[in-house]
Amino acid sequence: MTEPARVTGAVPGRSHVWLWLALALLAGVYVRALAFTPVERVQGLAQKIFYIHVPSAWAAFLAFIVVSACSVGYLVLKDQRLDLIAASSAEVGVVFTSGVLLTGPIWAKPIWGAWWTWDARLTSTLFLWFIFFGYLVMRSAVGEPGQRARYSSVLGILGAPLVVFIHVSVTLFRTTHPQPVVLKPQGPTLPGEMLTTLLLSVAVFTVFYLALTARRYALAKAELARAQALAEGDHAA
Amino acid sequence: MPASTTAPPPALEAKALARSFGVVKALRGVDFALERGSALTVFGPNGAGKTTLLRILAGLLRADRGEVRMDGRPFRRDDAAQRRRIGLISHASLLYDGLTARENLEFYGRLYGLGDVRQAAGSALEAVGLAQRADSPAGTMSRGMVQRLAIARALLHDPVLVLLDEPFTGLDQAAAGALRAQLMRLRAEGRTVVLVTHNLDEGLELATHVAIQVAGRFVEYGARAGGVDGYRRRYAEATRDA
Amino acid sequence: MRELLAQAAAVAAKDLLLELRSRTAFLSMLAFTMLVLAIFNFARDPTAVSASDLAPSTLWITFSFAGLLGLNRGFALERENRAIDGLLLAPLSRSALYLGKVLANLAFVGAVEAIALPAFALFFNVPVLPVLGPLVLVIVLATVGFVAVGTLLSAMAVATRFAELMLAVLMLPFLMPPVSAAAQITARLFSGRPFAEQVGWLKILVGYDIVFVILCILVFDWTVEE
């Protein structure tokens, strides 16, 4: 009777390197944000949350785009790795989305006086959270991996136009969110220093998202390899 | 000009069929070839992958590797003409308890595009001896009657290939006898039959070919030779080692 | 194409025949809808909030809940005796199966809405008749979108352990665009604004229906294949 394959605690691969790099970059950009970027005149120190809030929103939507793209890819190519990437991205995405939903009220309260205002971006992000949540709940409720991948991919594909429709619907309502200071058609009205910090934050969060997703994916592959090894062990016995 | 002497392709052929569910390898390479009118009985314990094999042959499940051929042409699940030639009798009846026997058959008749569904349903009910119960809801019928109705449903569209998945489950003596007679009739009518079961007594009689399936593979396959005892012995050996 | 419609009609007819026989699902949905409408009446302070203020929300929340309850029925009834295998065995195109289920669900939910609407007008004393035409159009548009997506999601949810709960969790984000559009238009209809003004919301409703009906037909295969 052969012994089942031994499993060590470590996750194979070099995904942890990227993670440490991302964390270092994160620390660096926040030093810049807090110490080397001017304080905004009207909003004061509360505006510093902007450098977490906006990049988190960007990372959340990036995560969702990856989920959708991998979903299409999986249904076309039937490569299980695409399903694992989508699942990893969804888990990371829900964390970033939660970050947006937490920093939003923290920012809004000193500025607008209310914890929650149904402004366009925050509301769309709330629904994005529910979409991620539904995706992850569906995955946890389906046992068979092939079926789980298929169902998740269907959700991932349907979610894309849904996000668009939700955003359009929400925008049709009156909003009280501050005008998007970066993506205005006549050019960003954010003064130079702040704009640079913001763009740096967005870049760093992108790296952070990629590192987290890569790590989660590596973990998922390790779990799969372990399950396969155990199954082989059972058969050989 | 010499006359063509090439034999017709096998009515049903499986090549290296494999299928996994996650890490569980349900089928690990199954091959067989059947002429028209043959009957293959596959014996195996639970978990051997017999149902998986049957569902792939029926087109209900996609194989990870390998292929199925019907009359020499690859079986494609979206080919309606090929699907029309398959009938399935399972241990589940595939019927609607809330509809009457007649309504069940008429519905399936419509799905299979049989022109006069009322007439087709009527004669199918007669053939299985359920004409008097035509207007009873399927949910009020006994297990034996439901099985007969399921047979009527499976044969309604006159399939050339009949697949059976543990059809004797839950049948009493009388119903089992009726089913055995029905299966012999299928053979006499020249249909190709594949039956999977864990019970040697039930499937051996009608078989022209026998396979023993264990852990996703045929550990034995060939034309039927010898009596029940020989197979019983080899089956016990094969399943003991599993 | 004609065969597709004929098969879809056969599937829908079978579903409706089954429902007609037992009637339990339909009557339960109807009772539930009436109950929700009635409770809404007591869930407000009548001196502070007039019925007409709450009417549009009440109507659409009620329709949403009733619809959610009714959607599970569709694929749940294929689980008994593994009838779904019979459907997948037959030369029945997956699109015909999907369309048949959608048609049956539309008939089912539509019947409940048709009875609930007069009840709503009665309970909340809302002048529905003057705007009946546009209102019915809005109800039809929103219901089509809702049922198209819900039928697809229920095909997947039915395979999970807490199917009704799973369907609700999956469905809720998908409800937001059609329900908010329909509620907004309904509110403006009741307050006498011209229908032509609601172009923005109407575009959302129609766009949603077109996009999701097509998308659902395309991806439905993947929810039933193995």
Q: Residue A114 pLDDT > 60, yes or no?
A: yes
Mind telling me how many Å the CA of B30 is from chain C's nearest CA?
19
Does A145 lie at the interface with B, CB-CB under 8 angstroms? Answer: yes
Q: Are B68 and B44 a contacting pair, CB within 8 Å?
A: no
ipTM over 0.85: yes
Neighbours of chain C (3+ CB pairs under 8 A): A, B
Low-confidence residues of chain B, pLDDT below 50? none
Which residues of B fall within a CB distance of 8 Å from A144? Answer: 21-22
Q: Which of A84-98, B87-101, C20-34 has the lowest mean pLDDT?
A: C20-34
Does B140 lie at the interface with C, CB-CB under 8 angstroms? Answer: no
Percent of chain A with pLDDT over 70: 83
Percentages of chain C per state (helix, strand, coil), in multiples of 5: 85, 0, 15
pTM: 0.90
Q: Residue A99 pLDDT > 60, yes or no?
A: yes
B2 HSE (CA, 13 A, CB side): 3
Does A97 lie at the interface with C, CB-CB under 8 angstroms? Answer: no
What's the CA gap between C27 and C20, in Å, rounded? Answer: 10
Cβ–Cβ below 8 Å for C166 and A130: no
Nearest to B122 by CA among B143, B147, B98, B100: B100
Cβ–Cβ below 8 Å for C226 and B62: yes
Cβ–Cβ below 8 Å for B25 and A228: no
Cβ–Cβ below 8 Å for C222 and A75: yes
Please indicate, yes or no, if residue A165 is contained in any of the structural domains: yes
Question: Can you tell me whether residue B157 is helix, strand or coil?
Answer: coil
Residue that is written with structure tokens 């399935």 in the block: B88
One-character DSSP codes across C73-136: HHHHTTTGGGHHHHHHHSS--HHHHHHHHHHHHHHHHHHHHHHHHHHHHHHHT---GGGHHHHH
CA-to-CA dists, residue A103 to A42, A54, A55, A86, angstroms:
19, 9, 11, 25
Helices and strands: H and E segment counts in chain C: 10, 0
Please indicate, yes or no, if residue A7 is contained in any of the structural domains: no
Query: Residue A189: is it exposed, middle or buried by C-beta count within 10 angstroms (0-12/13-18/19+)?
Result: exposed
Mind telling me how many Å the CA of B89 is from chain A's nearest CA?
25
Classify the C-alpha dihedral B41-B197-B220-B226 as positive or negative.
negative
Helices C24-42 & C51-71 angle (0-180, nearest 10): 150
CA-to-CA dists, residue C82 to A124, A143, A182, C87, angstroms:
40, 19, 56, 9
Encoded amino acid at C89, one letter: L
Which residues of A fall within a CB distance of 8 Å from B21? Answer: 144-146
DSSP 8-state class, residue B14 = E
* Beta bridge mates, A188: none
pLDDT score of A73: 96
Please give the average per-residue pLDDT across C120-133, as a whole number.
87
Cβ–Cβ below 8 Å for C85 and B60: yes
| Three-class DSSP labels, C26-62 | HHHHHHHHHHHHHHHHHCCCCCCCCHHHHHHHHHHHH
pLDDT band of residue A93 (cuts 50, 70, 90) is very high
Question: Can you tell me whether residue C216 is helix, strand or coil?
Answer: helix
* Beta bridge mates, B73: B70
Q: Are A22 and A211 a contacting pair, CB within 8 Å?
A: yes
Cβ–Cβ below 8 Å for B25 and A146: no
Please give the average per-residue pLDDT across C103-123, as a whole number.
92
Strands B65-70 and B161-165: unpaired
* Structural domain of A125: 20-36+47-175+191-223
> C36-92, pLDDT tens digit by residue?
988 888 887 777 777 777 889 899 999 998 888 889 888 988 998 999 999 999 999
Encoded amino acid at A176, one letter: T
pLDDT score of C211: 97
Pick the more confident residue, C185 or A5: C185
DSSP 8-state class, residue C218 = H
Does B83 lie at the interface with C, CB-CB under 8 angstroms? Answer: yes
pLDDT score of A177: 35
Please indicate, yes or no, if residue A10 is contained in any of the structural domains: no
Q: Residue A199 pLDDT > 90, yes or no?
A: no
* Domain coordinates in residue numbering, chain C: 2-224
Nearest to C144 by CA among C179, C184, C106, C99: C106
Classify the C-alpha dihedral B198-B204-B208-B211 as positive or negative.
positive
Query: Residue A8: is it exposed, middle or buried by C-beta count within 10 angstroms (0-12/13-18/19+)?
Result: exposed
Please give the average per-residue pLDDT across C149-157, as a whole number.
96
pLDDT score of C83: 94
C interface residues, B as partner, C-beta within 8 Å: 3, 6-7, 10, 14, 17-18, 21-22, 77, 80-83, 85-93, 225-226
> C167-226, pLDDT tens digit by residue?
999 999 999 999 999 999 998 888 888 878 788 899 999 999 999 999 999 999 999 988
What's the CA gap between C143 and C23, in Å, rounded? Answer: 21
* C-alpha torsion A86→A87→A89→A91, nearest 10: 160
Of the partner residues B93, B103, B108, the one whose CB lies closest to the CB of residue C90: B108
Please indicate, yes or no, if residue A101 is contained in any of the structural domains: yes
pLDDT score of B53: 95
Q: Are A130 and A97 a contacting pair, CB within 8 Å?
A: no
Which residues of C fall within a CB distance of 8 Å from B107? Answer: 10, 14
pLDDT score of A5: 44
pLDDT score of B77: 86
* C-alpha torsion B221→B227→B229→B235, nearest 10: 10
Mind telling me how many Å the CA of B26 is from chain A's nearest CA?
12
C interface residues, A as partner, C-beta within 8 Å: 149, 152, 156, 159-162, 166, 169-170, 172-174, 176-177, 180-181, 184, 200-201, 204, 207-208, 211-212, 215-216, 219, 222-223, 225-226
For B117, which residue in chain C has the nearest alpha carbon?
Answer: C10
What's the CA gap between A29 and A15, in Å, rounded? Answer: 21
Classify the C-alpha dihedral A178-A184-A186-A189 as positive or negative.
positive
Conformation bin of residue A13: beta by default, left when phi > 0, alpha when psi is -120 to 50: left
Which residues of C fall within a CB distance of 8 Å from A169? Answer: 176-177, 180-181, 204
Mind telling me how many Å the CA of B22 is from chain A's nearest CA?
5
Q: Compute the residue count for chain C.
A: 226
What's the CA gap between C41 and C30, in Å, rounded? Answer: 17
Q: What's the mean pLDDT when you consider all of chain A?
A: 82
Which residues of B fall within a CB distance of 8 Å from C6? Answer: 110
Q: Residue A105 pLDDT > 90, yes or no?
A: no
Domain tally, chain A: 1
> A27-74, pLDDT tens digit by residue?
888 877 777 777 766 666 677 787 888 889 999 999 999 999 999 999
Which residues of B fall within a CB distance of 8 Å from A224? Answer: 23
Mind telling me how many Å the CA of B159 is from chain C's nearest CA?
11
- What tokens were used for B15? 């090549």
Question: How many Cβ atoms sit within 10 Å of the Cβ of residue C13?
Answer: 16
pLDDT band of residue A193 (cuts 50, 70, 90) is confident
Among B23, B27, B61, B214, the strongest candidate for a mutation testing the A interface, having the largest count of A CBs within 10 A, is B23
Mind telling me how many Å the CA of B58 is from chain C's nearest CA?
7
For C8, which residue in chain B has the nearest alpha carbon?
Answer: B111
A48 HSE (CA, 13 A, CB side): 14
B15 HSE (CA, 13 A, CB side): 10
Q: Residue A169 pLDDT > 50, yes or no?
A: yes
Question: How many Cβ atoms sit within 10 Å of the Cβ of residue B64?
Answer: 16
